[in-house]
Copies of this chain bind each other. A is one copy, B any other.
Amino acid sequence: MNKKGINKKELMDVLNMHDISPSHPRYRSLLLRDKMAQAYREGILADSALIAHGRGEAFDYIFGEKTNPPAIKAIRAASATLLLAENPVLSVNGNTAVLAAEDMVELASLLPAKVEINLFYRTPPRVVQVERVLKNAGANEVLGKEGDDFLPLKGLEGPRSRAHPEGVYIADVVLVPLEDGDRAEALVALGKKVITIDLNPLSRTAKKSSITIVDNLVRTIPLIINEVKRLRECSRQELEEIVMEFDNDENVSSSLELISEYFKRDEDS
Complex Cα distance A58/B52, Å? 9
Q: List 6 A-B contacts (CB under 8 A).
A: A19-B158, A54-B56, A62-B202, A256-B263, A257-B264, A259-B259
Instruction: Select which of B36, B41, B61, B260 is within 8 A of A264 by beta carbon.
Output: B260
A71 to chain B minimum Cβ distance, whole angstroms, is: 16
Residues of B within 8 A of A57 (CB): 51, 54-55, 58
Pair B257/A263 contact, Cβ less than 8 Å: yes
Interface majority SS (helix, strand, loop, mixed), chain A: helix
Q: Within 8 Å CB of A19, what residues of B?
A: 158
Given A53-B51, A54-B58, A55-B57, check contact A263 B266 (CB 8 Å). no
How far, in whole Å, are A19 and B158 apart by their CA atoms in the complex? 10
Q: Does A233 belong to the interface (CB within 8 Å)?
A: no
On whether the beta carbons of A47 and B51 are closer than 8 Å, the reply is no
Question: Complex: how many Å from CA A260 to CA B258?
Answer: 10
User: How many Å from the CB of A52 to the closest CB on chain B?
Assistant: 6
| A43: min CB distance to chain B, Å | 12
Chain B contacts for A267, CB-based, 8 A: 253, 256-257, 260
The number of chain A residues with a CB under 8 A from chain B is: 34
Which residues of chain B come closer than 8 Å to A34, judged between CB atoms?
47
Chain B proximity of A230: nearest CB distance (Å): 31
Digit string of A41-68 for contact with B (CB within 8 Å is 1, else 0)?
1000001101111111111011000000
Q: Min CB distance, A77 to chain B, in Å?
A: 20
Residues A217-269 near B (CB distance < 8 A):
253, 256-257, 259-261, 263-264, 266-267
Residues of B within 8 A of A52 (CB): 54
Closest residue of B by beta carbon distance from A203: B61
- A55-B58, A260-B263 known; 18 new pairs, CB 8 Å cut-off, are A33-B48, A40-B50, A41-B47, A50-B50, A50-B51, A50-B54, A52-B54, A53-B54, A54-B54, A54-B55, A54-B58, A57-B58, A61-B200, A202-B266, A257-B263, A257-B267, A259-B260, A260-B261
